[in-house]
Chain A
Amino acid sequence: MADVQLRGVVKRFGNATVIHGVDLDIRDREFCVFVGPSGCGKSTLLRLVAGLEDITDGDLMIDGRRVNDLPPARRGIAMVFQSYALYPHMTTRENMEFGLQLAKTDRSTIRQLVDKAAAILQIEPLLDRKPRDMSGGQRQRVAIGRAIVRNPKVFLFDEPLSNLDAKLRVQMRLELAKLHRDLNATMIYVTHDQVEAMTMADKIVVLRSGFVEQVGSPLELYHKPRNLFVAGFIGSPAMNFINSSVIDIEGETATVALLGGAHMQVRVVKPVKKGDRVTLGIRPEHLSLNSGPGSQVAGRVIVTERLGGATYHYVQCGVDMLMVLSEGGSPIREGDDVTVWIDPKMVHIFDENEQAVGLGTHYDA
């Protein structure tokens, strides 16, 4: 098992720079998730770690050793691909054995390793089947099994669940989390789905356009997004944003304008000036309708989505559309005029550069 360090890692394809000097520390046995929208460079970053792409600049250390110039096979990694990448003409057992045969491991040892991995993944009945005779979930297990038998220092997963249906994805998510615990291995996992990131990660790395936007634990990102992008990306349903401006500033307390002439006092932690344009961010679960703490904004319910256990109300407040999460049996209907209560303790403030400049006292803990 090993820790992974990236120091100023840069990747250029021709003239296009796709990874802009990433610094990252992944500790031993950590489950680290690279998340971001498509094209953010998360897969490229993983491939740099795997050695499938050459690192243009910077250093990659695995277990304290610089591995930039080592071929993938000698980096002590194993990778699970999005499309599983199983050899179509080989049985499960052959697929799992194929990479081992070269390592001069003797046959009985190989057999044992495969059997053990198959037991962990509960794929013993599939050992003699070929990929085309298996479901997506089964293939995914085989692909993971193939990684396990290599007994790597670091597991790399490239969007492994994105080809599965929703239900299977939830199930596999649990199993992967369990596997991480059982194997006690360092894992790097790439996904575009922030739910997967939130549910599995010890550490999330949010990437955008080849830059690391924020690194932290799931709740750290949820509670203290460093910028507007992370705030919008992490959390489901997504955070509401209200365009606003600073009316007054007094120490750490800023007065910001709300719709309909209302205003609210919020805490800022970085300097803002009177008249600055800011964005207020507040999550749907922190808004309430018709009664609650904080300031009020008037609006009308445009759409209501009832999920049974919860209800999403889309409320038009002037130019802003706010989404409010209510309980399942919310009596409010589409077309109702409502007041939206915004609790200043729950609010995030972002400046014109989209950087977080303030947040409610709720997040102090």
Chain B
Amino acid sequence: MATTTASQLTRSRVRDAWLYLLPMLIVLAAVAGYPLLMTIYYGFTDATLSTAFNWDFDWVGLDNYIEYVDFGDGTGEYYGLLFDPTWINAVWNTIKFTVISVSLETVLGMAVALTLHAHFRGRGLLRTAILIPWAIPTIVSAKMWAWMLHDQFGIINDILMGLGVISSPIAWTASPDTALAAVIIVDVWKTTPFMALLILAGLQMLPGDIYEAAKVDGVHPVKVFFRVTLPLVRPALMVAVIFRALDSLRIFDLIYVLTPNNAQTRSMSVFAQENLFQFDKFYYGSAASTFLFLVIAMLVISFIKFGRLRLGD
């Protein structure tokens, strides 16, 4: 008798829960699920921008990813994303950008967070001030930096030349040697505050008394940082790194504004955008977007798995 009642209660609770979830599920399916599925689908077709919306296209299977094209004269070549040197270059660019910028942001973010974690006068003000780069829209800050990095009118060259560090102005965003560095500099400038904030939140969760215990034990602050703070803040750090890595992998706006069409900074997203809207290769851009999605999804899954394993030991 009692069990029947309980299970009835459980059933009605489950039903209610689904009922409340339904509106959100519908919205999610419409704004996230449908576009994602369509993108994946387009990646298996030959749809162009003109044909994509009136369903006037054909299924081509995996051709957009890998296809052998016979030139008819006995020669032929492999085509598709997996063999496209531009795409492979874009993947490497993106990975390089992600690894370098996220590493720098993590180190700098940690330094900033540790500074802000200390007690001193004006800390609240500084915390707000440091968030400003993060609050500025990317397009605006990218334009701002584009001017600052400008070879003729830019303040960076002016300062460096004034200091005698360089003898002639550097074309930061144009030179292949510095284009990626310029993008990384701006990205680090912009997102270090975000990183610092997430790490700071992690630091503030740490019990204060263990630091006093370490002080009483006479443990050197550097050792405390590496043996106590770092291991304890790692979960928060991992979340921050995942966030930033995902963000970096789909970097588009900054590059698009700062160093457009530059082979050294063409990221996966820029590649996808070019194919989708400039080359009339909607199918190819969709395939690239799908690939990008897969890369990100795999990264998230492995991060979560890896993170859990390490957290659970």
Of B216, B220, B223, which one neighbours A52 at CB under 8 angstroms? B216
A79 within 8 A of B: yes
**Given the contacts A86-B210, A102-B223, A79 and B232 also touching, CB distance less than 8 Å:** no
Render B54-97 as a binary contact track against A, CB cut-off 8 A, 1 for contact.
00000000000000000000000000000000000000000000
**B217 x A71 contact (CB < 8 A):** no
A198 → chain B, closest Cβ, in Å? 27
B231 within 8 A of A: yes
**Complex Cα–Cα for A13 and B209 (A):** 20
Q: How many residues of B contact A (CB 8 A)?
A: 17
Of A51, A74, A79, which one neighbours B213 at CB under 8 angstroms? A79
**B216 x A72 contact (CB < 8 A):** yes
B99 within 8 A of A: no
**Given the contacts A87-B228, A89-B231, A71 and B209 also touching, CB distance less than 8 Å:** no
**B207 x A85 contact (CB < 8 A):** yes
Q: Given contacts A73-B218, A82-B209, list 19 more A-B pairs with CB under 8 A.
A: A51-B215, A52-B215, A71-B215, A71-B218, A81-B212, A83-B207, A84-B209, A85-B209, A86-B213, A87-B213, A89-B231, A98-B214, A98-B217, A98-B219, A98-B227, A99-B216, A99-B218, A102-B217, A102-B218
B contacts with A: majority SS: helix
A78 within 8 A of B: yes
A50 within 8 A of B: yes
B219 → chain A, closest Cβ, in Å? 6
**A78 x B216 contact (CB < 8 A):** yes
**B220 x A102 contact (CB < 8 A):** yes
Render B227-260 as a binary contact track against A, CB cut-off 8 A, 1 for contact.
1100110000000000000000000000000000
**B217 x A87 contact (CB < 8 A):** no
A113 within 8 A of B: no
A77 within 8 A of B: yes
B213 CB contacts on chain A under 8 angstroms:
79, 81, 85-87, 99, 146
**B218 x A88 contact (CB < 8 A):** no
**A88 x B209 contact (CB < 8 A):** no
Smallest CB gap from B212: residue in A: A52
B215 CB contacts on chain A under 8 angstroms:
51-52, 71-73
A150 within 8 A of B: yes
B218 CB contacts on chain A under 8 angstroms:
71-74, 99, 102-103
Within 8 A of B (CB), among A44-73: 50-52, 71-73
**Complex Cα–Cα for A295 and B313 (A):** 71
**A102 x B210 contact (CB < 8 A):** no
Give the top 6 A-B pairs by smallest Cβ distance, nearest first: A73-B218, A99-B217, A85-B209, A85-B213, A72-B216, A89-B231
**B210 x A85 contact (CB < 8 A):** yes
**Given the contacts A79-B216, A83-B209, A88 and B232 also touching, CB distance less than 8 Å:** yes
B39 → chain A, closest Cβ, in Å? 42
Q: Which of B209, B219, B220 has the most CB of A within 10 A?
A: B209
Of A78, A83, A88, A99, which one neighbours B219 at CB under 8 angstroms? A99
Smallest CB gap from A79: residue in B: B216
**Complex Cα–Cα for A87 and B223 (A):** 13
A161 → chain B, closest Cβ, in Å? 16
B232 CB contacts on chain A under 8 angstroms:
88-89
**Complex Cα–Cα for A220 and B253 (A):** 78
**Complex Cα–Cα for A102 and B227 (A):** 12
B209 CB contacts on chain A under 8 angstroms:
81-85
A74 CB contacts on chain B under 8 angstroms:
218
**Complex Cα–Cα for A81 and B231 (A):** 21
Q: Which of B212, B213, B223, B231 has the most CB of A within 10 A?
A: B213
B210 CB contacts on chain A under 8 angstroms:
85-88
B207 CB contacts on chain A under 8 angstroms:
83, 85, 88
**Given the contacts A85-B207, A87-B228, A77 and B216 also touching, CB distance less than 8 Å:** yes
B222 → chain A, closest Cβ, in Å? 11
A99 → chain B, closest Cβ, in Å? 3
